Structure 1
């Protein structure tokens, strides 16, 4: 960059920048498992939009730090507009959702932000109720977008690079930085609420009574920091919506897991000192998951069980570092003569196959191979115990 341009484009440090990135990551990780129009691909598309919104927010933050504040505001505006599109695509009856996604995939969904907000305010299944219960939310969206557009459209001399760094007010760049972080925080707040409109689980599972009952947790609850950004008043208002209350009532009707079972089912961690606690709620555990537990009762040496080509990984409390051990590939399996007690990364691995353990079966379908990683060598009795359990394992 020439010295001439450097006089206008100047990097600026944002204090506590990691806190902003952490909040953005929370939105990125808050995938929805809600099935739209009985089609899992719609949920996948919504999750892709959530990721894209997060990337735009992160881009905005990085660009501002680099000194490109106008580009930062373009990304900030795009994030807000895309979040509105996300609601416009999903907050409809099933047949409209299908039509919307069909248009969106082909780049033909051209409805503008203002029109989407207006339609959802009148006809939205969830959004309409949210703005009824949260009367300031719609205005918050409009005011934020107006302020962002004022910057994007250079509405005023203070929006110019040359004025910002050469005005008599030497503190102007820092005043503008404070304004940007305010707009960023407001955007994160609004986008977090829009994410909750898709489904309220990130807020619901902040409550232990919900968390220990929720059958499908594929993301983390919103943190205290995120809840603080959303604001207690808005949280209390959102909790009064039928969207929130109906899902809360539905989940509260389910059986509550004890902590040991919750760690096993949700975090895939088996506390070997609390095996009895886990078995005490075996009615909440699937057949194959119970077999995983049974295998751990054959020996006190197991640190990890991995099957389904890594789709299912369970740690035991012996694996205190949370290491994930790599499975052996087919070429390695062909070369070895024995599938038990193979030296592997400072421990041992035994390779077993569901419904049989001859060489042909193991190489036929790698998806049905079970890898058992253990601290010490398994003896013959332990191997026989595990093999017997695997014979009753359900093929995936």
Structure 2
């Protein structure tokens, strides 16, 4: 080993976190919970940042940079608090403070942001008052993290903890140290996940089957039961459900029509079970035009296997096999399909594409054999009905 490498690593003691892979998977619950609120899109940046900081903490700890790992955990809490402060304040305050943050002007620290939110009407104030025990534990963890950040105690120093004599004497227990760090990671993941709920309650709402069946294709994924149990606690979630934000959203969604399972799969998973086409079409009014027409085509034309919308960027698949071997496609191809005359029965590797313009977008049907002139006529007839009366439904092509 060269001298430079020796100088860089002699004070480090790499340690392995036994459940690191599971922790990394669990962080995905936060990353996948990004909000669809149009006025809070930048909040997703903070959600990702907090997640990255937790991931970085795990990597740093295993490399031996334990103080940096604890600091990264503390930063994850600060990133989450900044997110809440910027998007849980009054609109005029939010704009002013966001500009300060952008331009690196004087900006409040963690305690200052917390004090402001608690002294003004905010979602965080409501959440914290109902989850007081949860946030008391968070505060304890934050204080312990500060001990490492501010180097308070010999066990917080590389010169002491990783001193060769300390290692020989076994002065500091590595297993205990790993378990302590693991506990802080769990606490930070849970706290960031709860702070995320001050933006909107969708990660918890979507965990409820009744709500899930009444929502569209959201960009937010729900927190899993396992994640809630380990990082937040079902008791804390039940208390969160008493907040005004949650109850208002819940009541609004419960007024929507409940989707049957087959329709929900079309809307959320982009999957059409052709065997259940009748069930889907019974609630066809819940589908966008392209999806509705695609389901009708799948039910009535045996060679249709899937369809695309949004210029080819969105694909709906079915339980019917396609003869096309490739799995990838290029959106530029779909632009050509739409502009070609005629736009039907165009070769697409081993299969065919038929493109149709709709009042709301377009649809590209993929089929194993050419479709007939009668099929094309009937499809265009349905499209015409959309133009004349978007709410009128035609359930067959014949």
TM exceeding 0.5: yes
Structure 1 equivalent of residue 392 of structure 2: none
Superimposed CA distance per residue, residues 326-345 of structure 1 (whole angstroms, 9 cap, x where no aligned partner): 13635994999975555545
Mapped to 1, the partners of 2:74 and 2:341 lie a distance apart of 61
Aligned counterpart, 2:286: 284
Equivalents in 2 of 1:291, 1:331: separation in Å?
18
1:192 aligns with 2:185: no
Could you report, residue by residue, the CA deviation over 1:15-61 in whole angstroms, capped at 9, with x for unpaired residues? 12121111111101111123xxxxx2x32101111111111111111
Q: Secondary structure at the match of 1:121?
A: helix
Distance 1:110 1:234, change over 3 A: same
- 1:198/1:336 Cα in 2 relative to 1: closer, same or farther (>3 Å)? closer
**For the residues of structure 1 that align with 2:123 and 2:334, how far apart are their CA atoms?**
53
Q: Does 1:27 align with 2:30?
A: yes
SS of 1:372's equivalent in the other structure is strand
**Farther-moved stretch of structure 1 (43-52 vs 156-165):** 156-165
Structure 2 residue matching 1:197: 3-state secondary structure:
coil
Matching residue within 155, 158, 167 for 1:158 = 155
**Pair 105,393 (structure 1): closer, same or farther in 2 beyond 3 Å:** farther
Do the aligned partners of 1:294 and 1:389 also contact (CA within 8 Å) in 2?
no
Give the 3 Å change call, closer, same or farther, for CA 393–351 of structure 1 in structure 2. Answer: farther
CA distance in 1, matches of 2:367, 2:14: 51
**Aligned to 1:219, what secondary structure does the other structure show?**
coil
Where do 5+ consecutive residues of structure 2 fail to align?
Answer: 388-398
Is the contact between residue 213 and residue 259 of structure 2 (CA under 8 Å) also seen in structure 1? yes
CA contact (8 A) 1:295 1:389 kept: no
| Partner SS for 1:349 | strand
More displaced, 296-305 or 385-394?
385-394
- Unaligned runs of 5+ residues in structure 1 are 35-39, 357-366
In 2, Cα distance between the equivalents of 1:192 and 1:344? 45
**Residues of 1 paired with 2:223 and 2:209: CA distance?**
13
Structure 1 residues 114 and 96: CA distance shift in structure 2, 3 A: same
What's the Cα RMSD here? 2.9
Stretch moving more, 184-193 or 115-124: 115-124
Cross-structure match for 2:248: 246
Instruction: Report if aligned partners of 2:311, 2:335 keep a CA contact under 8 Å in 1.
Output: no
Instruction: Return the alpha-carbon distance in structure 1 between the equivalents of residues 25 and 334 of structure 2.
Output: 41
The Cα shift of 1:247 comes to: 1.4
Q: Secondary structure in 1 aligned to 2:259?
A: coil
Paired with 1:67 and 1:303, the residues of 2 have a C-alpha distance of: 53
Is 2:311–2:334's contact at 8 Å kept on the other side of the alignment? no
Distance 1:332 1:239, change over 3 A: closer
Of 291-300 and 121-130, the range deviating more from structure 2: 291-300
Name the SS for the 2:41 alignment partner.
helix
Quote the Cα distance in structure 2 between the aligned partners of 1:265 and 1:4: 58
Give the CA deviation at 1:285: 2.3
1:303-322 to 2 correspondences below 5 Å? 303-318=305-320
Instruction: Select 2:42's aligned residue among 45, 48, 66.
Output: 45
Structure 1 equivalent of residue 57 of structure 2: 60
| CA contact 1:269–1:316 (8 Å) conserved in 2 | yes
1:302 and 1:373 in contact (8 A); partners too: yes
Q: Could you tell me whether the CA contact under 8 Å between 1:60 and 1:75 is conserved in 2?
A: yes
1:8 aligns with 2:11: yes
CA distance in 1, matches of 2:173, 2:381: 74
Who is 2:122 aligned against? 125
Distance 2:172 2:352 in 1: 63
Match of 1:208 in 2: 209
21-30 vs 367-376, which moves further: 367-376
Answer whether contact 1:151 1:159 (CA < 8 A) is retained: yes
- Once residues 358 and 259 of structure 2 are traced to their aligned partners in structure 1, the CA distance between those partners, rounded to angstroms, is 31
Correspondence for 1:378 among 348, 362, 371: 371
Determine the structure 2 residue equivalent to 1:297. Answer: 299
The Cα of 1:12 is off from its aligned counterpart by 2.0
Counterpart of 2:394 in structure 1 is none
CA gap of 1:353–1:256, structure 2 versus 1, over 3 A, is closer
- For the residues of structure 1 that align with 2:242 and 2:35, how far apart are their CA atoms? 21
Rounded to whole Å, the distance in 2 between the matches of 1:319 and 1:20 is 37
CA pair 55-226 structure 1, distance change in 2 beyond 3 A: same
Residues of 1 paired with 2:153 and 2:188: CA distance?
A: 22
Q: SS where residue 227 of structure 1 aligns? A: helix
Counting matched residue pairs gives 376
Residues 1:262 and 2:264 aligned together: yes
| Alpha-carbon separation, structure 2, partners of 1:138 and 1:291 | 50
